[in-house]
Structure 1
Amino acid sequence: MPLREHLVELRRRIFLAAIGVVVGAVIGWFLYDPVFTALQQPIVHVAQERGSLIALNFSGIATSFDMRVKVSFFLGVILSSPWWLYQFWAFVTPGLNHRERVYAFGFLGVAVPLFLAGAFVAWWALPNAVKLLTEFTPTGATNLIDAQTYLGFVMRLMLAFGLAFLLPVVMVALNFAGIGTAATWRRGWRWAVMIAFVFAAVMTPTPDAMTMLAVALPICGLYFVALGVCVLHDRRVDRQRIAAGLPRLDGTMDDEPGGAGATA
């Protein structure tokens, strides 16, 4: 596909994904009250636990309206995740045959739960993060947290974790599209593990190692599961290429040393 057609297709997929987010935001508008109550619950709990004044502060006349709009769009991203994830898959893998396009259902069946699981892990870590970060408030002082700053913190945390848990699905999608081979992912596993632990350490601002491990280990496990799927897919592609008289993905032929037809 020429570059211009790629750009047109990208614009189309982004537009369709944006429409889905807007539709989800409309639904999120009506879910604002219970969701906002849940969002501020960690702050309410810490305030009650310490018997001090810690609360969200709406500092401007339009802040409450801005909060409702932002929470609605945040919910729109969460609710429409199956739709925009499908748009991503459809853009990355446009050249798949009919049989391989069926994998889109498997892609969504894995990607959506993983994205939601990542968001849930962030939600699980949020109370500890709020408790730790508000511990620096001096005794007798009040801590009026800017509502929009707090919301931005929660949104970044949940989206970052959701996208981090999507890493294995992106790996498989790129592998199916012929962009990244299993050998590429295998060579980079040490970097992947290091990045997973650095990400967990930065995104979980709590002093205990257990929270960091609870975040990093699932990401590492998902990476290796995705690597296994890529290995199986590359083996199937190699068999098809050899049958057609083409070299393997690594450039070797069947009768070359190290190939399937080589003797010991």
Structure 2
Amino acid sequence: MTPPVLVTGGTGTLGRHVVPLLRRAGRRVRVLSRRPHDSGDGVDHVVGDLRRDTGVDAAVEGADTVLHLAGAPRGDDEAARVLVRAAARAGVRHLVFISIIGVDRVPLGFYRAKYRAEQAVAGSGVPWTVLRAAQFHDLVLAGVRSLAAMPVVPVPRGLRMQPVDADEVAARLVALALGGPAGRVPDLAGPKVYPVADLVRGYLRVRGMRRLLLPVPVPGRIGRAYREGANLSREGVVTGGRTWEEFLAERVGTP
């Protein structure tokens, strides 16, 4: 019987796209999550917690490939260390990790932890692949919705984004997982770069809403990094095909 593919974060934004693609590729899937879920249709759910290091060895046992998609505002580096230690003990043959464009250039605590997680994967002794992606359309939409709920919308000055579709990231991850370890692969970003104000205006337009946009400065080293485009893709990037406008038309509606 073919060994299962273990997916951490399999019930999250990205995991909900990745798991069905793995199943359509004929792979058995095991999902590690902190809460019980019903298993079935070729997907087994096991309970464990990377940050508490509970249930991880049992989840990894027998898996030949691990897709590490789980993320949190804090502790991504320690969670990765727990996972790679378990993967090394279990003899996993391929560890695939999703990271973020700019983790080594934007001085945010979350990004720094994600970068340390990359380093843990690369130094684990387990054959590995790391893909850095831009922010997903879904996550950008959540942020824009929150901003648009205010009568005056604060817009970070100088901040640009290149959002990418989660479906396209999932397809790329599955292709990488089914292939051999490739190390750091080209980044994946959306087809267009947008000032945040344009992302907000696009959302307001499809919702038929009117709001005053108020540019606000982002101070310090973080603001400087964003103004310099440290969160944007560089040479060698792979770009997806689905634009922010196309995503909004499907998810939110048309004007």
TM range (shorter): under 0.3
Bigger Cα Rg: 1
TM-score by length of 1: 0.25
